[in-house]
Structure 1
Amino acid sequence: MTELSLLPAVRPRPSAPASAVAATSGAAFDEAVALTRALKLPHIRRAMTDIIPTAKAQRWDPAEVVRALLAEEAAGRAASNLRTRRQRASFPTGKTFHIWNEDAYSIPIPTQSALRTLEWIGRQENLCVVGPSGTGKSHFTEALGQAAVDAGMTVAWFTIEDLGGLVRRHRVDDSVTKAFARLTRTDLVIVDDIGLLPVSADAAEGFYRLVDAAYERKSLAVSSNLHPSGFDEIMPKTLATATVDRLLHHAHVVVTAGDSHRLSEAVNGNGVVALS
């Protein structure tokens, strides 16, 4: 259930007759508009020109008018907050569960269903999705992130090299620790595609700092071609050991398998629109 579905329903407003249009003019209406600006109520302001004439024409109870206007403001704010959280998450592709075929991938359906409840985020647990390229890791983790945003949570998406860039930017003024501490204000941090490329020293440090800062405080979701037990192949062994120890302590590990879904689509001619 999304936060929008929790809001009170706004009664449908049929078109008001011409005799009621006068309700949207005059000193009282102008003053009401000014008050919505002063109180920062933009959604009420937009709704007034429809609701007030309708209320007058249909002789609504005053309490119903207030309820309808407040419901418009609440719904508008919820939609605006949702857009802001989605933009701040910086998802790479916009993939959601609406285009996810749960039968097409190797992740057991009961596991998918349990993770989609998002209860593990509330318990500050981690998720590691590991397996070959094209087996649904990134799509599944992004779809979980999108679902978390829909549920009112905050999410941040990174590649491991993004974390290295964060380290470099904040090393200049010695604020690296503070920068990663701020990330723990986010309900879920997703780190995608670990293991595809060599990891720089800054990226390895950034990944460790993130895992350490989030440990038992916030949830991480990691997708990787390597099982975390093999992270010492791409990071210094001491750093990898400390990182994996914290990452896996409260983690669900999901291993994907099979052929690349992208390659399969390409071979079957489904990757492009056929040329005419």
Structure 2
Amino acid sequence: MSITGLRPVTGTTGDPLAEAIELTKRLKLPHIRRAMADLIPTAKAQRWDPAEVVRVLLAEEAAGRDQANLRTRRKRATFPAGKTFGDWDEAASSIPRPTQDALRTLEWVHRKENLSICGPSGTGKSHFCEALGQAAVEAGMTVAWFTIEDLGVMVRRHRPDDSVTRAMARLIRTDLIIVDDIGLLPVSADAAEGFYRLVDAAYERRALAVSSNLHPSGFDEIMPKTLATATVDRLLHHAHVVVTQGESFRLNQATNGRGVKRLH
């Protein structure tokens, strides 16, 4: 029985560490390569078991890949502000704490259910949605963030070659899709169509989270009634509806002088 790694390698330099580094380049193992320079001398000095050396190197590669994948998922999500639960104040939110905790488990995402958060401006809707999206990314899921007008842009871009359906099919490969800030302005015809197409394509296939100044029952105020009815019917069938209340966090901070740093 022979092991390839124990046979002489053509063009060897006589330096096993240098050859190992070259092999990590060939096999695309960058995280092992970075760890080897420090790890191998330590392992020799402390007389590590060879299996332990292999285990630690593979663990470094796995951890490095996990971090790289996390960065990629976060970049592709196109979150607007980088809000997470690290800067979320559970006590200040009008969302009941048990509801917050239940939603943060992300079980609803796994079950392909929807979330509709509605309420006045400044009551934490976007922050909570983005924090949920960030948590989903950290849990290994893919997330996509849109405004409703982004969906209109997508429809206009794909309408000339009749590829809107294919674009939506690609989009709903994402585990969680978030549509933020519906209801501030009237919705364009393209945006209304894009929102309906998204909700219809994702229905019972993917999880959607929607934040809005309007309760979904009032979407017919900003988009054609027939389209609004069809959209809301699908959106709310498997949805958790959360209503926020209270004064705007932003306005409260502004009136208390906490919206800017003091000038000197």
Identify which of 32, 57, 67 aligns with 1:44. Answer: 32
Q: For the residues of structure 2 that align with 1:53 and 1:26, how far apart are their CA atoms?
A: 17
Establish whether residue 55 from structure 1 lines up as the match of residue 51 from structure 2: no
In 1: Cα distance, 2:14 partner to 2:218 partner: 72
Q: Indicate the residue corresponding to 1:136 in structure 2.
A: 124
Q: Does 1:234 align with 2:222?
A: yes
Deviation for aligned residue 1:183: 1.1
CA deviations over 1:114-164 (Å, ceiling 9, x no partner): 000000000000000000000000000000000101111100000000000
Q: CA deviation at 1:243?
A: 0.4
Number of the residue aligned with 1:69: 57
Provide, for residues 36-64 of structure 1, a one-character-per-residue CA deviation record: whole Å limited to 9, x for no partner: 11111000011110111111111100000
Identify the range of structure 1 (168-177 vs 125-134) with the bigger mean alpha-carbon deviation.
Answer: 168-177
Whole-Å separation in 2 of the counterparts to 1:220 and 1:66: 42
**Counterparts of 1:26 and 1:249, CA distance in 2:** 68
| Distance (whole Å) between structure 1 residues aligned to residue 189 and residue 76 of structure 2 | 26
Structure 1 segments of 4+ aligned residues over 6 angstroms from their partners: none
Aligned to 2:159: 171
Which residue number in structure 1 is paired with residue 210 of structure 2?
222
User: Which secondary structure state, in structure 1, belongs to the residue aligned with residue 177 of structure 2?
Assistant: strand
2:5 aligns with none
Matches of residues 121-160 of structure 1 in structure 2 within 5 Å? Answer: 121-160=109-148
Choose which of 231, 235, 238 in structure 2 pairs with 1:250.
238
Aligned residue for 2:208, secondary structure, equals strand
Give the whole-Å Cα distance in 2 for the aligned partners of 1:26 and 1:222. Answer: 61
Q: Does 1:106 align with 2:97?
A: no
- Is the partner of 1:112 in helix, strand or coil? helix
What CA RMSD, in Å, does the superposition of the two structures yield over aligned residues? 0.9
Whole-angstrom CA distance in 1 between matches of 2:50 and 2:25: 22
Which of 111, 119, 135 is the matching residue for 2:107?
Answer: 119
1:26 is displaced (CA, Å) by 4.7
2:72 matched residue in structure 1: 84
Q: CA deviation at 1:274?
A: 1.2
Q: Distance in 2 between matches of 1:72 and 1:241?
A: 52
Give the total of aligned pairs.
Answer: 252
Give SS of 1:216's match.
Answer: coil
TM-score by length of 1: 0.90
- Sequence identity of aligned pairs in percent? 79
CA distance in 2 between counterparts of 1:259 and 1:167 reads: 35
- Match status 1:28 vs 2:16: yes
Match of 1:206 among 194, 218, 224: 194
TM-score by length of 2: 0.94
